[in-house]
């Protein structure tokens, strides 16, 4: 598979590393473009791929053109690539908020897949939700699935509206998790635990709980009830969270992120 990677930032590099590790392509079959010379040198030296600052030059070499740029750079990149792609090339976009309609119009191209990965992709533990235009072939859908599977799990959806929803849940989700961990560590320190002990307790509790939930096949609510003895310490803590509106606040946060994702898409059209 010949791949052109437009944008060599953290997520772009994560995809590049995973593609090579999984044997989906070879360094000789990959070209990368990035505006930052230091990033180009880093990617060339570490992965042995061809690098350039010219997006057109990189794109013309790929069967799959991966757009891994920042949303604010999309207009400029579409102006460069618009009308320059071969009809048979596949465009795989991981640009937050950039709708398929925006990409198709801006690039003057119809074979487009749009995906929303998340940051754990950097260690091969991400999850991506993606969709594709009707013009994308079965083989190209397979390529998309393989690339996204290399950085974690992937879920195909047949309606683009789910991409913005996933952005608010799995895309932004790691930040929610990090905030919760940060707050729980701070709470542990406040009751007297040393910071390093608190952080190890919290992190392993989060990891172990996630693995338990994944392996048990039980619903989160069932597991929560298993841990919560009537009148016990856990029940006392959960009562405080309920009175503070924890679930409602989280719902509001996800809704706010979802609405922002939809606004970003509208602004780019």
Q: Which residues of the chain are in CATH 1.10.3730.10 domains?
A: 173-265
Q: What is the pLDDT of residues 221-235, one digit of tens each?
A: 999 999 999 999 999
Average pLDDT of the chain to the nearest whole number: 94
Specify the higher pLDDT residue, 96 or 78.
Answer: 78
Q: How confident is the model over 209-215, as a mean pLDDT?
A: 95
Q: Is 1.10.620.20 the CATH number for 173-265?
A: no
Q: Considering the domain 3-160 in this protein, what is its CATH number?
A: 3.40.50.720
Residue 96: name the closest of 265, 266, 257, 269 by CA. 265
- Taking the whole predicted model, whether its pTM rises above 0.75 is answered as yes
Q: Which residues of the chain are in CATH 3.40.50.720 domains?
A: 3-160
- Residue 97, SS3 per DSSP: coil
């Amino acid at each position: 598979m010949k791949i052109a990677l437009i944008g060599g930032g953290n997520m772009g590099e994560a995809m590049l590393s995973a593609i090579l590790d999984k044997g989906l392509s070879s360094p000789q079959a990959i070209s990368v473009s990035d505006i930052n010379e230091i990033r180009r040198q880093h990617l060339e030296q570490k992965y042995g791929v061809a690098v350039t600052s010219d997006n057109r030059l990189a794109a013309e070499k790929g069967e799959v053109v991966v757009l891994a740029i920042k949303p604010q750079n999309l207009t400029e990149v579409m102006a460069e690539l618009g009308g320059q792609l071969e009809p048979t090339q596949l465009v795989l976009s991981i640009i937050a908020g950039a709708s398929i309609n925006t990409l198709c119009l801006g690039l003057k191209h119809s074979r487009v897949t749009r995906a929303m990965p998340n940051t754990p992709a950097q260690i091969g533990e991400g999850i991506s939700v993606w969709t594709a235009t009707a013009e994308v072939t079965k083989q190209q859908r397979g390529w998309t699935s393989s690339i996204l599977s290399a950085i974690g799990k992937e879920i195909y959806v047949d309606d683009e509206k789910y991409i913005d929803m996933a952005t608010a849940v799995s895309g932004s989700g790691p930040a929610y998790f990090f905030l919760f961990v940060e707050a729980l560590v701070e709470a542990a320190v406040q009751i007297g635990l040393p910071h390093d002990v608190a952080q190890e307790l919290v992190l392993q509790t989060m990891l172990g709980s996630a693995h338990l939930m994944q392996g048990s096949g039980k619903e989160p609510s069932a597991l929560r009830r298993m841990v919560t003895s009537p009148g016990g310490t856990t029940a006392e803590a959960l009562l405080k969270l309920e009175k503070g509106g924890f679930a409602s606040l989280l719902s509001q946060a996800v809704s706010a992120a979802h609405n922002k994702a939809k606004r970003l898409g509208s602004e780019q059209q």
